[in-house]
């Protein structure tokens, strides 16, 4: 099969990417990830067409060039790679033409979810790369690089691990993602609780921490009886939605977990 691989944004000019925590730059990350996806697809016997534009004076010119590169071959699928930022956002989402269900998009989201990213679903937006390309396109927003939780997952698996997950999803292959350290981390078991709420159950209230440690910075406090939206349970800690990038509460202080 032939895949067009499009790393989002230019390195300079009128279409540079968004900025995340720890100095992360979207246009750098998209190229790193596409390089790994390219290697992974080629190792599995597939062909690739790299649709990379490093400079354009305007956003429109950048998009025109990217679309032209994608349309220069008869690809079986276009894979566009991006990274997200927004206030209090988590997880992965995939844009398709008119938000149409594509099995490749669904499988990519499920593979990324296995790594720990929230599955935000298949979405529609008037994007040049989904509306003006000849081949069907999945426009993957891998994660939110201003979210400490998402960036932790990104660092845990590395670009090679993320690429394997995306390629497994595209090809419908069995998942066997390697962790960046080369060995599995068994210290923490994650239980997905996304979409559920819990109730704070300690009379004195509870601190919301930046990380999973009682020595971590306190982001704020929640009173007894407060409702909190949950993301997932990570060992003895609960990862919760708390502005701007989420926080952690010791799980014994949350009860009545419900939908």
At 44-72, the pLDDT tens digits run 999 999 999 999 999 999 999 999 999 99
Domains in the chain: how many in total? 2
Residues 195 and 86 in one domain: no
Alpha carbon distance 124, 126 (integer Å): 7
Does a structural domain hold residue 233? yes
Residue 177 is assigned to a structural domain of this protein: no
Rounded to an integer, what distance in angstroms lies between the CA atom of residue 220 and that of residue 243? 10
Q: Residue 174: what pLDDT?
A: 60
Number of Cβ within 10 Å of residue 151's Cβ equals: 19
In the chain, beta strands by DSSP E: 2-7, 12-13, 47-50, 55-56, 77-84, 92-95, 119-123, 137-144, 190-192, 197-200, 206-209, 218-222, 227-234, 237-240, 247-250, 254-258
Q: Are residues 122 and 29 in the same domain?
A: yes
* 147 shares its domain with 51: yes
Q: What is the pLDDT of residue 88?
A: 77
Tens digit of pLDDT at every position of the chain (259 positions): 999 999 999 999 999 999 999 999 999 999 999 999 999 999 999 999 999 999 999 999 999 999 999 999 999 999 999 999 987 788 999 999 999 999 999 999 999 999 999 999 999 989 999 999 999 999 999 999 999 999 999 999 999 999 999 999 999 986 544 433 333 333 345 677 777 899 999 888 899 998 888 888 898 999 999 999 888 787 788 888 887 667 889 888 998 676 5
Taking the whole predicted model, whether its pTM rises above 0.85 is answered as: no
The conformation of residue 127, written as its DSSP 8-state character, comes to: -
Distance separating alpha carbons of residues 104 and 94, to the nearest angstrom: 10
If asked whether residues 141 and 197 sit together in one domain, one would say no
Q: Cα dihedral angle (84, 87, 92, 97), rounded to 10 degrees?
A: -70
The CATH number covering residue 34 comes to 3.40.630.40
CB 2 within 8 A of CB 49: yes
List of residues 6+ apart from 180 with CB closer than 8 A:
155, 156, 157, 158, 160, 161
Assess whether 84 and 158 both reside in one domain. Answer: yes
Q: Which among 171, 198, 218 is the end of a domain?
A: 171
Any idea what the CATH number is for the domain that residue 230 is in? 2.30.30.40
Tokens representing 250 are 């010791």
Please, are residues 228 and 198 in contact by the beta-carbon 8 Å criterion? yes
Which of the listed residues 120, 142, 171 is the one where a domain comes to its end?
171
Contacts with 154 (C-beta within 8 Å, 6 or more apart), sequence order: 142, 143, 145, 162
Residue 142 covered by a domain: yes
Domain that holds residue 148: 2-171
Residue after which a domain boundary falls, among 103, 138, 171: 171
The answer to whether residues 151 and 113 belong to one domain is yes
pLDDT for res 185 = 37
Alpha-carbon gap, residue 33 to 37, rounded angstroms:
6
Q: Looking at residue 188, what is its pLDDT?
A: 45
Q: Which helix (H) or strand (E) holds 128?
A: helix 128-131
Tokens of 115: 């790594």
Q: Which residue has the tokens 């819990």?
A: 198
Q: Say yes or no: 32 and 158 in one domain.
A: yes
Classify residue 176: in a domain, yes or no.
no
Q: Report the distance separating Cα 184 and Cα 244, nearest Å.
A: 30
- Asked if residue 179 belongs to a domain, the reply is no
**Does 139 share its domain with 71?**
yes
Indicate whether 159 and 202 sit together in one domain: no
Classify each residue of 199-220 as buried b or exposed e, where b means 16 or more C-beta atoms within 10 Å of its C-beta: bbebeeebbbbeebeeeeeebe
Is residue 141, in this structure, part of any structural domain at all? yes
Same domain? For 158 and 210 the reply is no
Same domain, 157 and 205: no
With respect to residue 182, please indicate whether it lies within any of the assigned structural domains: no
Same domain for 143 and 253, yes or no, is: no
């Amino acid at each position: 099969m032939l895949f067009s691989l499009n790393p989002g944004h230019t390195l300079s000019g009128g279409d540079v990417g968004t900025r995340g925590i720890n100095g992360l730059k979207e246009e750098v990350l998209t190229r790193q990830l596409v390089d790994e996806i390219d290697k992974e697809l080629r190792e599995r016997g597939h062909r690739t067409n790299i649709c990379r534009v490093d400079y354009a004076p305007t956003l429109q010119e950048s998009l025109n060039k990217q679309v032209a590169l994608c349309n220069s071959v008869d690809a079986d699928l276009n894979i566009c790679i991006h990274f997200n930022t927004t206030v209090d956002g988590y997880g992965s989402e995939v844009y398709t033409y008119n938000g149409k269900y594509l099995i490749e998009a669904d499988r990519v989201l499920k593979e990324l979810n296995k790594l720990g990213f929230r599955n935000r679903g298949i979405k529609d937006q008037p994007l040049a790369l989904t509306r003006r390309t000849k081949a069907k396109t999945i426009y993957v927003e891998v994660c939110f690089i201003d979210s400490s939780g998402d960036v932790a997952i990104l660092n845990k698996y590395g670009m090679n691990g993320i690429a394997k997950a995306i390629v497994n999803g595209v090809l419908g292959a069995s998942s066997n993602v390697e962790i960046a350290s080369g060995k599995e981390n068994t210290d923490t078991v994650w239980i997905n609780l996304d979409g559920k709420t819990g109730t704070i159950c300690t009379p004195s209230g509870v601190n919301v921490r930046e990380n999973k440690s009682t020595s971590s910075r306190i982001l704020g406090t929640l009173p007894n009886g407060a409702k909190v939206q949950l993301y997932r349970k990570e060992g003895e800690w609960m990862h919760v939605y708390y502005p701007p990038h989420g926080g952690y509460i010791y799980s014994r202080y949350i009860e009545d977990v419900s939908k």
